[in-house]
């Protein structure tokens, strides 16, 4: 089964490897890791978001192993992204590195682009795209929109956001 998990690690070398090893040892397949070393929790720990596949009966054992290694398991499998908005982009979207634009939002750890629909009428013509951005809360969604607007301004792309 596919599992999303948020953990917090001590800020010392080797902790990320120590967190990932038990998943592998239990036959898990790691799909994504977001290690936010520059964003500490109030207790000074490093937040890490994991997505992995693991046989259903092994999850309790994994949590036990992680806690035994001194890691805090903060969340397991609950929907993380609560708020969403649709924005429209107009301009030379593909030529200005759409992947970079999306990555700037996804790298925040608190927001991500979850849907993209694009229309490209011609190579030399402006294209339009509809993006759905989801975030863990309203203030984070607003911050993600700010990141998108700054990025779009850099690249000469117009952003139409919800009122």
Cα separations (Å) of 84 from 22, 74, 108, 138? 34, 23, 15, 8
Q: Report the pLDDT value the prediction gives residue 124, as an integer from 0 to 100.
A: 85
Q: Which residues share a beta bridge with 160?
A: 88
Rounded Cα–Cα distance for residues 33 and 17 (Å): 11
Q: Report the pLDDT value the prediction gives residue 74, as an integer from 0 to 100.
A: 85
DSSP assignment string, 97-123:
THHHHHHHHHTTSSEEEEEEEEE---T
- Fold exhibited by the domain 2-76: Alpha-Beta Plaits (3.30.70)
Rounded Cα–Cα distance for residues 114 and 84 (Å): 9
Q: Report the pLDDT value the prediction gives residue 80, as an integer from 0 to 100.
A: 60
Residue 99 CB burial class (10 angstroms; 0-12, 13-18, ≥19): exposed
Show pLDDT as tens, one digit a residue, over the chain (163 residues): 778 888 999 988 999 999 999 999 999 999 888 887 778 877 788 989 888 889 878 999 999 999 998 888 888 874 566 789 999 999 999 889 999 999 999 888 788 898 999 998 888 899 999 999 988 888 889 999 999 999 999 999 999 998 6
Q: Where are the domains of the chain?
A: 2-76, 83-160
Say what angle helices 59-68 and 15-25 make with each other, to 10 degrees. 150
Q: Same CATH fold, 83-160 and 2-76?
A: yes
Q: Which CATH number fits domain 83-160: 3.40.50.2300, 3.40.640.10, 3.30.70.260, 3.60.70.12?
A: 3.30.70.260
């Amino acid at each position: 089964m596919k599992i999303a998990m948020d953990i917090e690690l001590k800020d010392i070398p080797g902790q990320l490897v120590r967190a990932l090893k038990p998943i592998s040892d239990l036959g898990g397949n790691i799909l994504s890791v977001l290690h936010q070393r520059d964003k500490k929790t109030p207790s000074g720990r490093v937040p890490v978001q994991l997505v992995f596949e693991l046989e259903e009966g092994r999850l309790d054992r994994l949590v036990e192993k992680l806690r035994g290694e001194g890691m805090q398991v903060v969340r397991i499998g609950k929907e993380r992204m609560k708020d969403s908005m649709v924005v429209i982009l107009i301009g030379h979207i593909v030529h200005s590195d759409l992947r970079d634009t999306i990555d700037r939002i996804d790298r925040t750890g608190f927001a991500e682009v979850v849907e993209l629909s694009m229309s490209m009428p011609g190579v030399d013509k402006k294209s339009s795209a509809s993006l759905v951005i989801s975030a863990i809360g309203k203030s984070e969604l607003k911050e993600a929109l700010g990141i998108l607007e700054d990025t779009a301004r850099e690249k000469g792309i117009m952003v139409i956001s919800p009122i």
